[in-house]
Amino acid sequence: MSDLAADAGLRAFNHVFDEAIALQAAPGQPGVYKGTPSQAYWNMVGPFGGTTAATALQAVLRHPDLLGEPLSLTVNYAAALEAGDYEVTARPVRTNRSTQHWTVMLTQADAEGQPAVVMTATLVTAARRATWSQNDRPLPAVPGPQEAERTPLYKGVEWINRYEMRPVHGHMPAVMDDSGDHSLTQLWLRDSPPRPLDFPALAAMADAFYPRVWLRRARRVPAGTVSFTVYFHAGSAELAECGDGYLLGQAEAQAFRNGFFDQSALLWSEAGVLMASTHQIVYYKE
Amino acid sequence: MSDLAADAGLRAFNHVFDEAIALQAAPGQPGVYKGTPSQAYWNMVGPFGGTTAATALQAVLRHPDLLGEPLSLTVNYAAALEAGDYEVTARPVRTNRSTQHWTVMLTQADAEGQPAVVMTATLVTAARRATWSQNDRPLPAVPGPQEAERTPLYKGVEWINRYEMRPVHGHMPAVMDDSGDHSLTQLWLRDSPPRPLDFPALAAMADAFYPRVWLRRARRVPAGTVSFTVYFHAGSAELAECGDGYLLGQAEAQAFRNGFFDQSALLWSEAGVLMASTHQIVYYKE
């Protein structure tokens, strides 16, 4: 697909998420794109990290040499994206019979106008074949999305309003009184307004959990993801089956140690298909 | 520390693991090193992936601009390393007040003598400060290392003999009869001969579990790690406390789907300190 055709395809859809991860191909430079972070997905400092991860993935998906579908994605957040143009470069560094290895880098001009690295990423795409398969993490027994109350719209952290979130366990503590005793959250979520699930949206949703340290401590401290990995168990067929339905997300921390904690999460379709497993290491203060 | 001093430090120790990950600095090119995979850690095709991951980490640890200690490491195995020289390049792409972001690439000459990418990696190093800390994954209640039988030496897969492995749960199935019903392994392990634990050794041990698909199916099929991530919860102090003692490793798969499964694992010291959490996505056939 040419870049013009890809651009036309994006514009035809015109969902706010597509606008947030839209990339403009640099003429004559395959894999080099320009973009601008979206105010619609603004977080406290810089845009929601999920859209930045989705942008890295999008740069690969738009590359003319792409083979296969996303298998794994690791994104490292080196600095907060600022509200100006960025450049993202995706490079296929090794193509095998059934896997393709990618490096991605996102830069933004610093105070002197020099490109500074804001994000690095690596991806593997793969051509899958039908094999013996087994899901050892079935959908937890939880109330359905319509039985769970939607979190109210949130002023000041805009990206949260781009998702319909219906927590069933591990809500954000109403009172931050240091009384926390676990870090497990389960919630139904989908784009708001609804949008058919694709790989970039799934990658973004894998980062949609509020910092586990707030729940574990019932205390709000500064926190931000440092490195984020998504393993895609879903292929195109499983994404299509989801349509614009909900995903159940389940996230839990394992260890908090001297300024950094890890989080492991799973995302299932309403039909119970495990779509992705995802992990991150997160900075926290105090 | 100069490269000469670092080389001297390595040689003074002279353990087979240090020899396996030894790097020779390219004069005048900071972050560029040459190395050779070790026959002592040979796997079926190419060397043990754990030593390759440790080599990526070592290239960063040897870099003159290094700040902080390893926090997260992701390694993507693009091709099997062959039994000849390789070049590894570590680049600090962003240095912040408390984190430093690195990209690493390992190349080996292809049939035409051109450098071909064999591994890509990203790392984050960090300066930690003492904070509120909490371990939500305590050491499982298992028999101690001296109560668990050591697996016998193994002909044909040499790297396994470089570890003292004492499984307490989820041994390699004695008969491959398709009777598997879980993928959980717990085992004590340390270098053989014993060696004081450091970051490269911890990274390698995080990859020391045999493929989960063999246990889950009780069937041996071709399998190999595609992407591997380690989150280091331990700092230098916790490593020093381990000395050359055992780690308890616990690994389990979550989902097997059309040629790829994920594995999540934890590693504790004998004293019960959670040293690392680690994840990988693994190719399997059939």
Contact (CB, 8 A) for A172 and A210? yes
Q: Where are the alpha helices (DSSP H) in A63-144?
A: none
The yes-or-no verdict on residue B39 having pLDDT over 90 is: yes
Q: Share the mean pLDDT of chain A.
A: 94
- Take residue A17 and report the two structure tokens written for it: 């998420």
Q: Share the mean pLDDT of chain B.
A: 94
Q: Which of A67-71, A226-230, B173-177, B197-201 has the lowest mean pLDDT?
A: B173-177
Q: What pLDDT band is residue A9 in, cutting at 50, 70 and 90?
A: very low
Check CB contact under 8 Å for A259 and B99: no
Interface mutation target, options B96, B98, B101, B221, chain A, most CBs of A under 10 Å: B101
> How far apart are alpha carbons A183 and A216 in whole angstroms?
5
What pLDDT does residue A155 have? 84
What is the per-residue pLDDT across B108-158, written as a single tens digit (0 to 9) for each? 999 999 999 999 999 999 999 999 999 999 999 999 999 999 998 888 899
Interface mutation target, options A135, A225, A227, chain B, most CBs of B under 10 Å: A227
- Name B153's Cβ contacts closer than 8 Å, sequence gap at least 6: B161
Check CB contact under 8 Å for B259 and A128: yes
**CB contact, 8 Å: A124 with chain B?**
yes
What is the per-residue pLDDT across A107-132, written as a single tens digit (0 to 9) for each? 999 999 999 999 999 999 999 999 99
Check CB contact under 8 Å for A226 and B72: yes
- What spatial distance separates the first Cα and last Cα of chain B, rounded to whole Å? 49
What pLDDT does residue A118 have? 98
Q: What pLDDT band is residue B275 in, cutting at 50, 70 and 90?
A: very high
- Name B221's Cβ contacts closer than 8 Å, sequence gap at least 6: B213, B214, B284, B285, B286
The yes-or-no verdict on residue A207 having pLDDT over 70 is: yes
Contact (CB, 8 A) for B123 and B104? yes
What pLDDT does residue A11 have? 45
What is the per-residue pLDDT across B71-108, written as a single tens digit (0 to 9) for each? 999 999 999 999 999 999 999 999 999 999 999 999 99
Amino acid found at B67? L
Among the listed residues A280, A286, A284, A285, the one whose alpha carbon sits nearest the alpha carbon of residue A73: A280
The yes-or-no verdict on residue B49 having pLDDT over 80 is: yes
Contact (CB, 8 A) for B199 and B237? no
What pLDDT does residue B11 have? 46
What is the per-residue pLDDT across A226-262, written as a single tens digit (0 to 9) for each? 999 999 999 999 999 999 999 999 999 999 999 999 9
What is the per-residue pLDDT across B4-33, written as a single tens digit (0 to 9) for each? 444 444 445 589 999 999 999 999 999 999
What pLDDT does residue B153 have? 86
**CB contact, 8 Å: B258 with chain A?**
yes
**CB contact, 8 Å: B231 with chain A?**
yes
The yes-or-no verdict on residue B285 having pLDDT over 70 is: yes
Q: What pLDDT band is residue A45 in, cutting at 50, 70 and 90?
A: confident
Q: Which residue has the higher pLDDT, A163 or A111?
A: A163
* Cβ neighbours of B103 (radius 10 Å): 23
The yes-or-no verdict on residue B187 having pLDDT over 80 is: yes
What pLDDT does residue B147 have? 97
Residues in chain B: 286
Q: Which residue has the higher pLDDT, A224 or A155?
A: A224
Q: Is B186 exposed, middle or buried (0-12, 13-18, 19+ CB in 10 A)?
A: buried
In sequence order, the β-bridge partners of residue B230 are B73, B278
> How far apart are alpha carbons B17 and B83 in whole angstroms?
17
What pLDDT does residue B169 have? 98
Contact (CB, 8 A) for B106 and B90? no
What pLDDT does residue A1 have? 36
**CB contact, 8 Å: A212 with chain B?**
no
What pLDDT does residue A13 have? 56
Q: Which residue from A minimizes the CA distance to B286?
A: A131
